[in-house]
């Protein structure tokens, strides 16, 4: 064993000239062999690869002198493992100097590949003034070839190291990713022998019916310990917006994506909470569940048992909102022996602890309306359970009423025809009937149809209701139409012309005070507009008008054929006045009859 290397400290073999670890020359190495004879080729370096070829990077120690033997005419090149000449860029400086001719001018030699082909894009090296190798001498592979970009340069022992540069023939590779530490071993913790339940007996479950279903106000609460070191799962009773009862779960150890399954129901946790739909309503008493918890990845999966106690339920019901008469209900379901008061009155429970209270909402469904209205009932309750614990609360029953806008006819119509047009609009998908006869409804909610009328005065009921396959609950809306089928319109027209009613000046003085009063108008047409079996007329009223023009807006639920300047007779009731764009108030009349004056009829008085 030789002395340690002065560069890296690695022990060297006895007589070694170069450190096998870093390539540093050994200063006191054994004497070099005598110079080669003329029969032996002279190599600038003495180190060889494992295959017997000269290493193009190893240099003799500084103390060794150049042999005095005459170099051959064509000095040998440093060779690669396959015996080809190494590119000039990678040869040792001594080898480059040995090949430089003295009598010829300097010729730039380009760096070459192992097959001797010039490397494109690499600057040629001047043979007359060879630059030191970028990689120097030192570190080498097992085959004696220097490792580019790793071994430091040592042109002479003791000289400061130069920064190694990457080889132009090699593409830099990205650094390998850091190796992650091994995960901690999994800890197998035994599940508890039985779930730990809270000592509570239960809380009330109240359901509120809305236009889209019921809402649970309160429910039984249960704490279930999943593992000895884990926080408990909390389960409560609730309902969805569609009115379906649910089990609301809260789990602190359940990340997003965890699923909870019970029978055919399945829910996914988000923000540590999930709502599991229940196929059937909860029962009064104990409700048992076996819920499978499946955490994503390698998280702990388990099946937990949960018992949810329930002492009573108070629920709003709108199933009979379309009945005759329409009603909303409050259903009470309590444990036997409990006492219940609703709106301050005791409720008589049957043998099963059940009772139903009904509220008539007919007046909330009658009359035309252009928008959705809401029926709302607030019911106060008080429950005293078998433990003499009193619970109070409020059930809010809320359901929407469909809109119904009527274009034709008006609320009152006088006609001499055997059939009339009924037209208007309602909600999309609703059904419309007139005295039980279905009217065609377009996808946008508009409807129109002709309905037969009998002679004389009669009342027709127009009704809009949700279709039978409607997904949500809504209250229907109804309105009454008063139709008078007369034998002669001339008789009715003369009665209006001869009749007495307030004049225009009285109407214009306070239109709001005259709202709903009967009125007759005789005048001339200023402007008309007819749309969807409905006419709007601007009439210059000649009755009771001290200074004209005396303009009145007339709404009529049928199509007319008037032109500006035509005479007109109208009868009806004072409607709500409107305000014109210029800020003036314009009286309005909801007409039941609009016709031409008798004096304007043709020969014989026929229209």
pLDDT attached to residue 463: 94
- Measure the CA–CA gap between 208 and 204, rounded to whole angstroms: 13
CB 353 within 8 A of CB 284: yes
Residues of the chain falling short of pLDDT 70 = 1-2, 27-231, 299, 469-472, 599-607
Q: Which residues pair with 430 in a beta bridge?
A: 466
CB 235 within 8 A of CB 248: yes
pLDDT attached to residue 468: 77
Read out DSSP for 504-524?
Answer: HHHHHH-TTTTTT-EEEEEEE
What are the CA-CA distances from residue 152 to residues 78, 147, 265, 502, 539 (Å)? 20, 10, 70, 117, 109
Structure tokens at 382: 């008080």
Helix (H) or strand (E) holding 235: strand 233-239
pLDDT attached to residue 176: 55
pLDDT attached to residue 56: 52
pLDDT attached to residue 605: 40
Residue 541 phi, psi (nearest 5)? -75, 130
Structure tokens at 437: 């006869």
- Measure the CA–CA gap between 85 and 2, rounded to whole angstroms: 34
Domains of the chain: 1-63+78-94+131-166 (no CATH), 193-400 (no CATH), 404-485 (2.60.40.10), 489-605 (2.40.50.140)
With H, G, I as helix, E, B as strand and everything else as coil, classify residue 389.
coil
């Amino acid at each position: 064993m030789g002395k340690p290397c002065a560069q890296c400290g690695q022990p060297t073999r006895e007589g070694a000239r170069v450190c096998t670890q870093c390539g540093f020359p050994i200063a006191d190495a054994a004497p070099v062999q005598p110079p080669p004879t003329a029969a032996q080729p002279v190599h600038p370096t003495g180190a060889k690869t494992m295959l017997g070829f000269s290493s193009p990077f190893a240099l003799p120690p500084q103390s060794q002198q150049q042999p005095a033997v005459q170099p051959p005419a064509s000095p040998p090149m440093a060779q690669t493992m396959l015996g080809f000449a190494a590119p000039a860029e990678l040869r040792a400086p001594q080898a480059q100097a040995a090949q430089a001719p003295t009598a010829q001018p300097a010729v730039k030699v380009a760096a070459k590949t192992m097959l001797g082909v010039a490397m494109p894009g690499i600057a040629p090296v001047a043979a007359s003034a060879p630059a030191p190798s970028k990689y120097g001498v030192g570190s080498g592979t097992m085959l004696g070839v220097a490792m580019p970009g790793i071994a430091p340069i040592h042109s002479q022992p003791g000289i400061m190291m130069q920064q190694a540069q990457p080889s132009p023939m090699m593409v830099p590779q990205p650094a390998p990713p850091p190796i992650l530490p091994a995960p901690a071993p999994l800890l197998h913790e035994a599940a508890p022998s039985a779930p730990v339940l809270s000592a509570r007996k239960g809380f009330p479950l109240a359901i509120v019916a809305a236009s889209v279903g019921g809402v649970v106000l309160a429910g039984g609460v249960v704490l279930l310990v999943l593992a000895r070191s884990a926080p408990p799962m909390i389960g409560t009773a609730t309902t969805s917006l569609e009115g379906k009862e649910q089990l609301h779960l809260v789990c602190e150890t359940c990340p997003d994506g965890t699923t909870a399954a019970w029978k055919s129901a399945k829910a996914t946790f988000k923000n540590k909470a999930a709502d599991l739909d229940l196929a059937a309503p909860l029962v009064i008493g104990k409700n048992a569940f076996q819920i499978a918890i499946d955490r994503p990845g390698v998280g702990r999966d388990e099946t937990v048992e949960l018992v949810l106690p329930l002492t009573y339920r108070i629920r709003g019901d709108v199933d009979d909102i379309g009945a005759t008469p329409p009603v909303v209900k409050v259903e009470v379901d309590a444990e036997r022996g409990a006492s219940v008061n609703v709106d301050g009155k005791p409720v008589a429970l049957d043998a099963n602890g059940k009772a139903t209270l009904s509220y008539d909402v007919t007046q909330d469904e009658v009359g035309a309306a252009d928008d959705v209205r809401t029926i709302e009932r607030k019911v106060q309750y008080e429950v005293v359970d078998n433990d003499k614990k009193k619970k109070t609360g409020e059930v809010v029953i809320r359901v929407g009423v469909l809109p119904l806008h009527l274009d034709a006819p008006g609320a009152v119509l006088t006609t001499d025809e055997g059939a009339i047009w009924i037209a208007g609009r309602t909600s999309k998908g609703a059904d419309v009937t007139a005295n039980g006869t279905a009217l065609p409804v377009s996808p946008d909610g508009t409807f129109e149809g002709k309905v037969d009328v009998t002679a004389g005065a009669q009342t027709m009921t127009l009704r809009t209701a949700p279709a039978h396959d409607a997904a949500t609950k809504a209250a229907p809306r109804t309105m009454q139409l008063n139709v008078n089928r007369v034998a002669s319109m001339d008789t009715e027209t003369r009665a209006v012309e001869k009749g007495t009613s307030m004049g225009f000046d009285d109407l214009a003085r306070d239109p709001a005070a005259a709202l709903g009063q009967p009125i007759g108008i005789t005048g001339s047409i200023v402007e008309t507009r007819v749309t969807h079996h409905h006419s709007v007329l601007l009439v210059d009223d000649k009755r009771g008008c001290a200074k004209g023009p005396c303009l009145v807006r007339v709404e009529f639920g049928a199509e007319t054929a008037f032109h500006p300047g035509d005479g007109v007779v109208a009868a009806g009731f004072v409607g709500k006045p409107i305000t014109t764009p210029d800020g003036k108030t314009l009286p309005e009349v909801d007409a039941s009859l609009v016709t031409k004056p008798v004096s304007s009829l043709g020969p014989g008085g026929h229209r």
